[in-house]
Structure 1
Amino acid sequence: MLEQPPTGDQQRPLADETVAERIASRAARVHILTGAVCNNNCVFCMEEDREQRYVTNSQTTDETVKWILSQHEQFEEVCFTSGEPTTNPRLHHWVKMAKAAGARCISMMTNGRALSHEKYAKRLMALGMNRFYISIHGHTKKLHEGLTRTPDCFEQTVGGLDTIARFKRFGIELHTSTVITKRNLPHMGEIYRFLRSHGVDQVVFNVMQANGRADTYFDLIFPTYTEIAAVARSFLDEQYQREQQVNAVLVDIPLCTTEGMPDINRGYVEAYVHYEHEDTHGLLTEEMLGERVGGQDGELVQIRRSDLDVNARHKRAECQTCKYESACEGVWGNYLRRRGWDEFVPVV
């Protein structure tokens, strides 16, 4: 039997809240790494190092999950992610554990294909999962599958959207993530309207991180931030002629490039932490490693999203004069190496 979960409105932008205020007040969620296997093959996947990811993520056990869940009160959300969670046979058990631990918001980042099987999806929801982030990168089969490089996945993903949408009356939340590329950028409005017609509560347009395959195929798929912002402004201007509230957010793009865009429709992804058995990316100093010890026997290390930002994003002296300096996370180094600083102008 499905229960009415608490609302997730705290994650939706408020109309009277500035983007800087929203970023400053956001609470962290905890990610539980579910594995290294994915049944899509996205051209922009930032997790290109599958062997290392397998070493890291395959160490997640019932005991690991149990300890992480014992810390859940520190976080507003428990999210199963990395690889494709639905390929992990322990997922349902871990969701049940999260519910038993008292987690109020239990979510999953997924390509949604398995959710097209209603029995499978209903079991997840019955066990406690109440928010779904489904990745979909186009409003047509050709566009989506051209980016996922996986034949016949579009119908399954859309089927997953439709399955979850049927259960929204029980308080289930349905969000989507669309990674912006040169191919789908011109179709931002069409994608938004398509997804909303399938019951999506919030459409998130993610600007790529220039890591993994997004770095490998950078020149082929990565639009400039300026191009992305221009199309987003045009889409929003048009969409606000159609409806009073546009439930779309453009995230992970320097705020100076999106100046003039409604604050409710721009920002960064939520802060999050996850736990590894070692700092596989070498992000932490020895002192920080000592402060981040976790697990029943001290075998885990807490990695925060901000650790990646500090190591891979950059600001220049001029950024200190920008009104967004405290809220802005900077520019990816791999992006700057190719395109430089010219398009980033401080907003004063």
Structure 2
Amino acid sequence: MPGLLDVILGYDCNLACDYCTITPAMRARALSPEAVVAAMREGRRLDYDRVAFTGGEPTIRRDLLGLVRASRKLGYGDVKIQSNALLFTEANVARLVAAGTSRFHISIHTHLEPAYDALVRRADSFAMMEAGLRQAVASGVHVVVDMIVKTDTYPRLPAAIDWVADRGVPEVHLWFVSLTDGNTDNVESLPPMTTAVPSMRAAMARGRERGVEVKSLHVPRCLLGEDWRHAWDPGSQRVMVVTPEATFELSQSRLAGQGQVPACEGCEFESFCPGLRNDYLEAFGDAEVARVRGREPSATGKLRLPVLARA
């Protein structure tokens, strides 16, 4: 069965985003090029036919072009680069495409310059990101923009969709902020889902108007109401994550939904919804899901049922 090999080359980055889960200690860890090639060979043996290079920030590695070329030689038909686009000059983008890159995923976090520079904690970086985004779109390969949904960004989501649409971006993914590793104690960054969902749904409506496909990656379908079709669970596909420490299925990642709560029983989405993340349950419990299902919250607000097999 084909699938995606998601390779975290290393955790170092040229930004220091205020919600980042990467700790200072993690930034020192990276895969060697030999380890990456070995993982890609094993991936092809197991019939993985797509590969993603992410981090950290993969474009700060001098061996990235060689790794992209190696992935194509090994037979990967789709090659994704996940980046903040700060180093996406015209020449760099052209080299990545010539080497075999077939899609760019670009994290823009938020679309307003002062807010962006404050969020990434690097002055004058917004102009570099925007220029890099334009170069990626101009290259002709598929471009996806990733936006973080957190307390200070979710109100601006509808306007952000207009911003990316004006720049020719066809697809946007909405990532709900996670309280893991380096962001564990940043509790104020995590809004209740029911607080953020109205802005998310307004962004989805704006996307439909502007011809931009908008996907939500972490909010259960029951909380999205009539927009539940915008929910997407990457872990429902065959995705193997390769990191400097371990290799595991994406469905087992702490950044993916990890379990259902008692109120999920009997839901029309029960057989394939991954539920909520542990960090979210620890912060807010299961009252939101229980309310929309017309049920009582569990006694602890954290009780989970086993994760079901993905459809």
TM-score when scaled to structure 1? 0.76
Q: Is the 8 A contact 1:35 1:85 kept in 2?
A: yes
Cα distance in structure 1, aligned partners of 2:245 and 2:157: 39
Give the corresponding residue for 1:187.
156
Q: What amino acid does structure 1 have at the position aligned with 2:133?
A: L
Cα distance in structure 2, aligned partners of 1:307 and 1:268: 12
Q: What amino acid does structure 2 have at the position aligned with 1:229?
A: V
Give the corresponding residue for 1:252.
218
Give the corresponding residue for 2:17.
42
Give the corresponding residue for 1:96.
69
Does 1:226 find its partner at 2:194? Answer: yes
Distance 1:133 1:311, change over 3 A: closer
Per mean C-alpha deviation after superposition, the further-off stretch among 174-183 and 302-311 is 302-311
**After superposition, what is the alpha-carbon deviation per residue over 1:248-306, rounded to whole angstroms, capped at 9, x for unaligned?**
1121112221121151x222235421235654xxxxxxxxxxxxxxxxxxxxxx31112
Give the corresponding residue for 2:114.
142
Give the corresponding residue for 1:320.
265
Give the corresponding residue for 1:273.
240
Give the corresponding residue for 2:38.
67
CA-CA distance at 1:308 after TM superposition = 2.4
The alignment yields a C-alpha RMSD, in angstroms, of: 2.4
Give the corresponding residue for 2:304.
none
Cα distance in structure 1, aligned partners of 2:2 and 2:269: 19
Q: Is the 8 A contact 1:252 1:269 kept in 2?
A: no
Task: Quote the sequence identity (%).
Answer: 20
Cα distance in structure 1, aligned partners of 2:68 and 2:124: 28
Give the corresponding residue for 1:308.
253
CA-CA distance at 1:247 after TM superposition = 1.4
Give the corresponding residue for 2:130.
158
User: Helix, strand or coil: the match of 1:230?
Assistant: helix
Q: Which has the higher contact order (CA 8 A, sep 6+)?
A: 1
Give the corresponding residue for 1:196.
165
Q: Structure 1 regions of 5+ residues with no counterpart?
A: 1-25, 280-301
Q: Is the 8 A contact 1:44 1:212 kept in 2?
A: no
Distance 1:327 1:273, change over 3 A: same
TM-score when scaled to structure 2? 0.85
Q: What amino acid does structure 1 have at the position aligned with 2:219?
A: I
Q: What amino acid does structure 1 have at the position aligned with 2:225?
A: E
Give the corresponding residue for 1:33.
8
Give the corresponding residue for 2:183.
214
CA-CA distance at 1:92 after TM superposition = 1.0
Cα distance in structure 2, aligned partners of 1:129 and 1:144: 27
Cα distance in structure 2, aligned partners of 1:127 and 1:174: 17
Does 1:109 find its partner at 2:82? Answer: yes
